[in-house]
Structures are given as structure tokens and as C-alpha cells.
Structure 1
């Protein structure tokens, strides 16, 4: 953002806050580093801190089930219902000419996953209690919330998969499993939809607020329980399957003790697999959003490559469906990368040189915060391209996906699981080699070779 556009944003925030009763200039404007879908800007008026939550573009928010005004209404309802949530103090209007969004009081604490995951075990109980309070909200108070029922949700994912090319076998396996294991619809319950480490503010080891309500809807409480237990949202805490803070049994006990519904392991597994498929497709959709011009940020196009993480997680979740002989089958070898040529530098070596130059020359001149975050994203992007040039396997196989979805191919097919394991390991090694579950999957799967 240029100095001129940043000043225009500060001027607009001053107008919005004056309408809500706060006078004075908006100072200390700072883009916060988090937020793959929405922008967050911290600023102060009269020494009091606030946060602007803003859509990256009108085109981006147009595809959401909740517009910004309705998201603000959900937050207000949650706070009134005793959920620790930020206070919404003002909403943007078109006349403000600074986009779509709303302003909240700044909440103490940090959303940094490392901060949360280093907290005492009591934090899991506090998150479970907050979740139970969300689920106790009256759906009639939020009549605009969409409803997610299992069968309709799975078919919506299948349609999204087809639109994205319908050619990633682990996603096809997930969809086939979901269709075969549909639970009965649950009583419509208000769900947060994105309750996980990274979307909670934690101060001194305690929960201070639940953030990012853009995915709120009505559905099965087990969906919220499962989402925060996905591997991707545990940030390397592979041994602590309950939000990265404890075990799933710990989460279930704390949730039930806080007034939540009785925990059902079968429903939990359904929604864990559902949400893993959902996040794989959400990652792929980032590429579509970038191509359309709705959001041309570098972060958007790089996140699209995170679908490979969910390919791995889906295989880890679903491989128990395969016969024992297939689970023990050795993996085929990886395709060897081409030898490094002598003489002129390769394209991969040039990308390495650019990344090293950015780290040595540009990074020292950047303040901590959004700019350094974007530099890290840029270096990640260069690494993805460099590793693809070195030999990334093709993760696409539409013909195989079609036979999986029609039930003609399952994980009982001799060699299928071993081949998919190898393909997923090598694809993820090219796309996101630092994904914590990759090393663990290699340890487990390659020990059979």
C-alpha cells in the first residue's frame, strides 16, 4: 500500500469512528500479518486501539455466504450470549470509500499459534467452553445463517471438486468415503465454522477472544469440534490431536462439561474427513480467485499449493479402510531428479540466488509485521517453483478419480495405496516441504520399504 492510499484509509477510518462517537485522527495504522481471506488493520484513536476487518475486494466477498454486515451481527450476538468475542463498534458504508468491513475494539493477547500452543492445558478447556457457548446461541436470533446438512454439503463439495478439475485422487477418495458414511442430520446449531488455533486470542495462557466469524452457519456441533483437530491447524503438535493442546478425549470431556452435546466419535470422524476435503478444495479455490483478479495477492496464489498438505492428511485418515496387506505394501521409489548440470546456472539455481538476495539485502530493511510476512511468502513461492523445476510429480489423475467416485476403484486395489502414498509424499515435498506431517508420514510409510 502506498503512503497516499494508507493516508486515505486513515482518513476514512477517522470519518467512520467519528460517526460512532470517537473523535480524533486515526494513527499508528498497521497491517497485521494474519488473515488469508480478510485484511486486518490495527490503528488508534485517542490512544485507544482498534482493529479494522476488511474484505480484499467486493468481488471476493460476493461469493461468501455472509456479507460483512452479517458477520458483524453474528459477532454481536455471540458477545451478547457470553462468548468471548471482540466488540464491534462501527461498520463501513459505501460512502466511506474505504471498502467493506467493520471495526472492533482491540482485544488483549495474541493470535500467534506458538503463543497458544505453549499455553497450559487449561486453554483447551476454555476453548471447549467457548465453543459450547457458541452452540448454545439461539438460531432464531440469526435467521440469515446458512444451514449445512451432511448430504447436501458432500454434494456441494463434489460439485466444487468437479469445477476444480476433478483430478486429485485423495480428494476423490474422501468424497467417496463421505458419501458412504453420511450421518443423520443433527438439530441445527449455531457454529463458528473456523474455530481453531490461529483464530483465538490468547493472553497469558488464557482465552481472551474468538476471532474470524465469516464462516458461521447452522449445523452439527461435531463439525466445530473436528475442525480445530485437523492436522493443519495443530501446527506440528502431531501427538496432541485435540486442537494441538491435548487429546480428543480431553476436548470431548471439557466440551460436555461446559454444556455441549454428547460426543459421538462416528460423527466426529465424518466431519474431520469432511473438513479436510473442504480445506483441500478451499486451497485450490485460492488459485481460481487469483486468476479471476478478485485477489491478486501473492499469498493467495501460494496458499493454493497447500492442497498437497490435505492430500497427505486425507490418505492418513482413510488408509485404515485399506486391507492390511495394502497398508504394508512397500512404496515404489521416487523419480530421481535430474543431475545438476555444470556450466551456466539453471533456472532453479537462479531462483535460489534471488531468494538468498532477498534474505541478505531486502529483509534487514523491513520492519517486523506484514512486510516480513509477505517476504517469507515470496521466498516460499520461489522455493515452490525451484522444486517443481527439479521434478515435481503430477498430482492429477482424472481417470482414476472417476473410477473412485463411481465405486469401481477402492483402496483394496492392489498397489493403489502405495502408489498414492509415494505420489503425495513427493508432491508435498515440492510444494510445502516444511509441513510437519510430511516427516512423520515418511517415517511410517517408508519403513515398509
Structure 2
């Protein structure tokens, strides 16, 4: 294990001058990269890093280019963190860079409980500023996205993961049929959403996590933060969980952003929901291959069900009215109550209770986060053991992907609705859209 407490001081002395290291702790967030907070010479900093070059092997650009992009964004007036130094191989800490720490709130739940009045306008303004960064200021390594090729890659990945999830197949086919004409490319942040912005009492304080940046369609950024999953339960507020799309678009356009095309926005909303559904499946593949052995990966792998629910909510309008009004078939019968020796479910429940009662209360920082993730994983197993629900249907997925069937088929929409409700109830029972869909579909 890398000893950051020994390796950070010489690095900081080189990039920032003399001082002493204190308060080193790993922050709980970060699905792919590590973030470490620390103090040096009276200042607060964050190290963003990957433990080794292997973590960056499939990425189009590395941390040096990411750091250069963050610096270019800050120079263009974007509220991006201040980069103070980039790790070199000789530093022995993997790849990454150090930023001055922004002291503001990042938790979506806390921000959305009482957002500053200016927040939605701030989000529109900052995105317009990102999209206005001059092309010659963007590092050459930042790639240009070819939407048609990217969609073909999603199809290929889907097939490599089994090609047997009907709702994902439905979404791929829809995107292929509704592919928009290429747009004039701008810098796309690629991950512009709650969870990647920091907020204080005055409004938006910083835009974080630039690792997915690329050149492409501005509407991709506009749509991403409006996905249901990134509203963190505030599904009645379609723009970031903060407010209305009309107000968000108006703020973006007033700050110099491109005129918003609603059809193009809808395409990207479906596309990025599809992208994240496959991203969740990819997390499971990363664990299975041994590339990332953390429990967090397998738990995120089961969040595919959330995105399948959201995709069906987005695409059900394609079905005839009679199909949208059709009653749902019943769910499978529940398993009988246990008798005799402890069942698999009861053993899993005992382990989960032990983590909750004995491990979690004594854990701190990232260890507490890991305990919660482990409890979530065991909760999925518990619900899985007591139900007979599968999401896979290779024949139906192939028929939807090829276009030989569609939501016009009598009863298909009702079957898919039942399937995504039951699967999401196992994998993510607290997902806000689940309760709303259940009520809307009378499921």
C-alpha cells in the first residue's frame, strides 16, 4: 500500500514550498478515483489520484492533460479548482494532481434539501462558460466524440455483456433511429451533475471531476444532470433536482449558451441514461475480471435496474395509447416463510445485522462508507433470494434490437413495466422513481 504520509511532503515542498503535512484522510466520494484531503503550511488541499497507471489504461487522456484542462477552465472564468501540482512517476504515488481544497458542500442530499436561490441560474451560467472555452485552450489530448461511433460502441458493449436486457436493447434501437445530425463541437464536461459540483451559501462554488471531458454536442452536458438518477430523489424538479427545465435553459442561453433544441436534448437524455445503464453493467465486469475488487463495484453493477426503469419511462410514449393503458401482469409469488434450519436469507441477514451493529458504529471516514456499501450488497442478496425475478431475455432483446418487434406489440409494454418494477424493487428499493412509476403504472 502506498504511504502517502511519507510521499506527499517532498512533493508539496517541491510545488508549494516548505511546510508540514497534517489531517490526511481519504474522502468518501469517488467512484473511480481516490481523493485525499490534507493540510500543508496552513492551506487545505486535495490529492486526486489513481493508485497506478493501470487504472488509467483505457482512458483517452491522463491526469496531466486533465489537470491542464482544469487550469484552462479556471483561466476562462469557470469555477474550477486551482491546480497546484501534477504527480510525476518519481513521486511514487501513482498518477494524479493536487488542488487547493474548496470549502463548500458537495453532498447532493444536503444541497437539494435547501438549495441557494441562485443555484439553477449558476448551473446554467457555468455550463455556458465551459462550452465557451476556446478550442485552442483545450489540451490536444481531449478527444472529439463521434456520436454515431459512440452509439455503435455501446451496442457492441451491450452484446459483449450478454445482449439480453430487453429495455437496454429498446433504448439502443431508439437512439439509432433518432440519431441527430452532428453539432458544432464545444468542450463537453461529460459529468456535469449534482455530486460533481460544490455549493455554498452564495451558490455554485466549484465544478469538479473533469475526467470524462471531450469535444462534442453541448446538449449532452445539458441533458446529463437532468437524468432522474442525478436528481437524487427530487424527481419533480427535472433540472438537477433544483428546478424546471425552462428556467435552466433560459439561464444557459442568457449566459451565452447555444439555443436549446428540445428534440436534441431528449436524444441525449435517453443516450446518457443508456450509457449509464451500460456503465453500471461495466462496473460488475470490472469486479468479475479482478480489475477492481471493491464491493462498491458489484453494488453499482446492480444499479442497472434503475436506468432500465428510467429508460422505459422515457420511451413508453412510443407505444400506442391502448398499450400505455394496459394493466400490468402480476408479480411472481413470494417465497414461503422459512422453517427448520436457518436459510440462506437468514444467514445473510445475520451478517448484515452484525455489520450494522458492530462494524459500522466503530468505523470512520471511508471505512464507514465501505460498511454501508457492504450492507447494501447484502440487502440486494436478501431480496434476490426471496424472489424469482430475472431481467435477462435474450430472444426479446434481440427482437427489439433488430426492430422485428416494438412497443406496439400487444402486452409488451405491460410486461416490460412489470419486469423493471420487480427488478428495481430488488436492486434499488429506495429509488425515488420506483415509487412514482408504481403509482403511474398502477403496479
Of 55, 61, 67, the residue aligned with 2:62 is 67
Query: CA shift at 1:56, angstroms?
Result: 4.6
> Is 2:197 aligned against 1:212?
no
Find the aligned partners of 1:21 and 1:341 in 2 and give their Cα distance: 63
- Given that 2:237 and 2:243 are in contact with CA atoms closer than 8 Å, whether structure 1 keeps it comes out as yes
Give TM-score scaled by structure 2 length.
Answer: 0.97
Of 213, 223, 227, the residue aligned with 2:224 is 227
Structure 2 unaligned blocks of 5 or more: none
Between 119-128 and 219-228, the greater mean CA deviation after superposition: 119-128
Aligned to 2:377: 381
Deviations 1:91-118 (A, max 9, x none): 1111111111111000120210023212
Aligned to 2:407: 411
Of 242, 245, 251, the residue aligned with 2:242 is 245
Query: CA shift at 1:310, angstroms?
Result: 0.3
The alignment's C-alpha RMSD in Å is: 1.2
Aligned to 2:418: 422
- Given that 1:116 and 1:205 are in contact with CA atoms closer than 8 Å, whether structure 2 keeps it comes out as no
Deviations 1:39-89 (A, max 9, x none): 110011122110010125432211112211111111011001000000111
Find the aligned partners of 2:158 and 2:119 in 1 and give their Cα distance: 36
Say which SS state the counterpart of residue 24 (structure 2) adopts: strand
- Given that 1:235 and 1:244 are in contact with CA atoms closer than 8 Å, whether structure 2 keeps it comes out as yes
Aligned to 2:362: 365
Find the aligned partners of 2:320 and 2:117 in 1 and give their Cα distance: 37
* Cα distance change of structure 1 residues 400 and 57 upon mapping to structure 2, 3 Å threshold: farther
Aligned to 1:107: 102
Deviations 1:112-142 (A, max 9, x none): 0023212133101011101000000112322
Aligned residues: 441
Find the aligned partners of 1:196 and 1:363 in 2 and give their Cα distance: 29
- Given that 1:392 and 1:430 are in contact with CA atoms closer than 8 Å, whether structure 2 keeps it comes out as no
Aligned to 1:310: 307
* Cα distance change of structure 1 residues 337 and 57 upon mapping to structure 2, 3 Å threshold: farther
Find the aligned partners of 1:193 and 1:135 in 2 and give their Cα distance: 11
Between 129-138 and 196-205, the greater mean CA deviation after superposition: 196-205
Between 263-272 and 144-153, the greater mean CA deviation after superposition: 144-153
Find the aligned partners of 1:188 and 1:426 in 2 and give their Cα distance: 40
Query: CA shift at 1:267, angstroms?
Result: 0.5
Deviations 1:387-446 (A, max 9, x none): 111124111112111111111010001111111111111111111111111111111112
- Given that 2:51 and 2:93 are in contact with CA atoms closer than 8 Å, whether structure 1 keeps it comes out as no
Aligned to 2:283: 286
Give TM-score scaled by structure 1 length.
Answer: 0.96
> Is 2:5 aligned against 1:10?
yes
Deviations 1:161-204 (A, max 9, x none): 11211111111111111111111100010010000001001112
Say which SS state the counterpart of residue 326 (structure 2) adopts: coil
Query: Where do 1:344-355 residues align within 5 Å?
Result: 344-355=341-352
Aligned to 2:317: 320
Find the aligned partners of 1:56 and 1:302 in 2 and give their Cα distance: 22
Query: Where do 1:116-127 residues align within 5 Å?
Result: 116-117=111-112, 118-127=114-123
